[in-house]
Amino acid sequence: MFPNFRAVATLILCAAVLSAPGAFAQERRVPASPNEVRLSYAPVVQRVQPAVVNVYAAKTVQVRNPLMEDPLFRRFFGGGGAPPEQMQRSLGSGVMVDSSGLVVTNNHVIEGADQVKISLSDKREFEAEIVLKDSRTDLAVLRIKDTKEKFPTLDFANSDDLLVGDVVLAIGNPFGVGQTVTHGIISALARTQVGITDYQFFIQTDAAINPGNSGGALVDMTGKLVGVNTAIFSRSGGSQGIGFAIPANMVRVVVASAKSGGKAVKRPWLGARLQAVTPEIAETIGLKTPSGALVANVTPNSPAAKAGLKLSDLIVAIDGQVVDDPNAFDYRFATRPLGGTAQIDVQRGGKPVKLTIALETAPDSNRDEIVITTRSPFQGAKVANISPAVADELRLDSSIEGVVVTELADNAAAASVGFQKGDVILAVNDTKIAKTADLEKATRTPSRIWRIVVVRAGQQINVTLGG
């Protein structure tokens, strides 16, 4: 969040520019014909609107009374049995991307949902099932149940063709008031410092986007989908002219995985860890500007290693597209089709080098994902062995070994004691944890005190729980 004085300064600067002597005079003229008066976005809206839907999600949660945690309170006031349940509901938007009833929306709209409904622009409602969820992009794909109807769809635009200043329309269901259309322009491209998803490469628009627009369509003037609206920058919770959309080229990858019957998105695996070029690093290696993606680590036998990528190489382009930072490379690489190759331009020791890298998925053998159900600090945590695929999904150092937390139930004991997705468990009560079976075995033995060694964000932490 920017401090308030910066917003005030921006307003003052704008006013100064508008009132400066010699500013360009606005051309004013009377419309030359009735047709000019009737210029409208309506034809585009009429073509697009039927393919934009409302998404209603609901999940049942147990409501715990904190007083019931006190044994004395329970003794005098009862409280046996399961806690009361409450239905939580969320509202978002979605886009029909296949005539069979395939809908793409934001993952956060349907996360944890027990029931999902789709409402069309003609007010008809359908039950839907979740086909695929991808938290890395905050996208999910739904399918309308039990129907043979053919639905209207939107075609994908090539989001790489967008330019700042292009006119766009945002369509969704803000605040639950009903389907709404707003218009604006592309105000920025390749925003990489937003902090919403793993792939930081957003379209920024000033088309009004509000709560409820999540998962809705951002379309161009030909009626093609250029992005899926996903977030706003706001102090008040309402639109302030800065909205972000996931580019259509990334949406296309997720939808293709869902159409192929996959439960997870398949992406190319690089097998190298990249870091941003700071001004200090740029000065050290003789760069005029701090741009590119610096190779900090290369996994043996990975596509990067086989292509000849080396430590301290500076990646500056992929398939002719400039790479400004690691986020830009991650996006460009993730949207390349599997099975082929990509050309990477590298600066090595001040000299240009071209490398050809194979586009293949990371090996995912021996994942052995399980949920810990025994009474312990890990209860309710889903854990997996660290394979190259798991390391890539969770952005872990490829050299680390152990068992990693891949998911946590909201009311799980593991979540309440502070475990997080991506935590790597190295040891429990002085026993090394090399695979999920080791952790399951370690939690079967009751203990008053749990001594746990965890790696979080590259830092080793020694934790003692109980007493």
Known catalytic residues are: 108, 138, 214
Give the other-Cβ count within 10 Å of 200's Cβ. Answer: 18
Would you say 420 and 456 are in contact if contact means Cβ atoms under 8 Å apart? Answer: yes
Would you say 383 and 406 are in contact if contact means Cβ atoms under 8 Å apart? Answer: yes
User: Sign of dihedral through CA atoms 297, 301, 303, 307?
Assistant: positive
Would you say 379 and 414 are in contact if contact means Cβ atoms under 8 Å apart? Answer: yes
For residues 349-371, one letter each, b for 16 or more C-beta atoms within 10 angstroms of the residue's C-beta and e for the rest, the string is: eeeeeebebbbbebeeeeeeebb
Would you say 95 and 223 are in contact if contact means Cβ atoms under 8 Å apart? Answer: no
Closest to 247 (Cα-Cα) out of 323, 169, 331, 131: 331
Q: 41 phi and psi, to 5 degrees?
A: -85, 0
CA dihedral of residues 322, 326, 328, 332 (deg, nearest 10):
90
User: Sign of dihedral through CA atoms 426, 429, 430, 435?
Assistant: negative
User: Sign of dihedral through CA atoms 348, 352, 357, 359?
Assistant: positive
